[in-house]
Amino acid sequence: MAVHALFFFAALIVKQDQTPLRSGCDAEDHVVAMLPAGTHVEVRFRLADGSDCFKIAASLDGKELTGYVPGAFLSGTDQYDQQRASARSVEIAQAMQPIVKQSEELVARIGSPALMRASELIQSNRSKQALEILEPAVKREPKNPNVLLLAGLAAYRADQVRTALDFWKQSLELTPNPALSAFYDRARTEAESDRSASKLNGLHVDLRYEGQTLPADTARAVLATLDEEFTRISSQLGCSADERIVAIVQSRDAYLRSTGAAEWSGGQYDGRIHVSWMDGREIDPQTRKTLAHELAHACLSNLGEGKTRWPAWLQEGMAQKLSGDVLTPNMRHQLAELAEGHQLPHLDSLRQNWARLSSQSARLAYNLSLAAVELMYEHYNAYGIRNILNNPEVLPQVTADLDQKLSSMASKF
């Protein structure tokens, strides 16, 4: 998953008098208060979806308020961007990638149908089923470091971190593996720092959370929202949840400690949804959007038996579309100008992780991806979005067609 929210505790200042502080990032969202020019605000997080929207905290007439403000109404955002760009990206999924690659290579090398099936199940978020295959394999071959590595990956993705550590410890004792050793240390830190022991089971999602951070009634509301959003998203994309998706909600400090994430990171997806809960007992519109965004990533990962690596533009475009994001007239105008100047990137150049993109490049990537997915919905509804996702071999042709439409329809943006 690409990071959806960027956290960085920094002080900015409201530039314009009577700036609306809203309950969400959309213009129609409820106005919480009107902020006078010169108000010092504390950034809670910044959405990294191209909307340039900040969640902030401010004090007004002795009352502490939180809400959302467009970046254009705040001064000091350039420094914020510089600090964010210099931050070290340590997404869990990115750190795990060497282990995933090793596991896939060893499965291909061994050629065992059982291990191949387990690997597919892991990648399609059915890690508990993969463990049912791998645990007997470990008993048959307790001294096989490769089987132990794969079993550890299945356990980790199934949110059984301590079991994963046990498998990986045995694997490392048998064969040195620098990549596994590095991730083992990270996973051990996660296990030691994680205090989210409270659990709720939903229809499609298992919620694990910190009871001190998330009151029980709020946790139930979060779980209900996750289940509702998954039902909506899965009905459009055709993904299933043979196993419930794991969502972990933690306080900001615990989230940063257990995931090892950079200071600006507020959410990650690595086969499990990780969310840093900032404050409040209510699920505001933006929180619902964030949950839907991460669920869209989970839904796409469930498709294709784990064999398909969806390009980042499709992942992020779909996640935005399905969470309710829309291109603003200003975003459309910027894309039109780039298209008319033949400077619009091809979608294939947006296939990989975007964690190290500059703020400006990230905004362009998100906006272009959302525009591409909007065009996909407009022109391929008759063929069927689900049909495309269930037949990924047609995606290169669809991508080329969308590139052409993005360029030739620039005037219609």
* pLDDT score for 86: 41
* pLDDT score for 180: 93
* pLDDT score for 79: 65
**What are the structural domains of the chain?**
5-86 (2.30.30.40), 92-193 (1.25.40.10), 198-306 (3.40.30.160), 312-412 (no CATH)
Full-model pTM: 0.76
Separation CA 232–CA 236 (nearest Å): 7
Closest CA to 209 of 245, 249, 252, 246: 249
Pairing of strands 245-251, 273-277: parallel
Residues in the chain with pLDDT values less than 70 = 1-11, 48-51, 79-94, 260-267, 278-280, 304-308, 353, 355-359, 382, 409-413
Which residues face 43 on adjacent strands?
Answer: 56
* pLDDT score for 6: 45
Q: Residue 225 belongs to what H/E stretch?
A: helix 216-237
- Count of beta carbons in the 10 Å neighbourhood of residue 239: 23
Q: CA separation (Å) from 323 to 26, 78, 116, 288, 353?
A: 12, 27, 34, 8, 20
DSSP H helices in 311-410: 312-322, 329-340, 359-380, 385-390, 395-408
Separation CA 202–CA 226 (nearest Å): 9
* pLDDT score for 167: 97
* pLDDT score for 2: 41
The residue behind tokens 């051990």 is 188
Separation CA 348–CA 120 (nearest Å): 25
* pLDDT score for 284: 79
Tell me, what amino acid is at 370?
Answer: L
* pLDDT score for 174: 96
* pLDDT score for 91: 59
Q: Residue 128 belongs to what H/E stretch?
A: helix 127-140
* pLDDT score for 148: 95
* pLDDT score for 409: 64
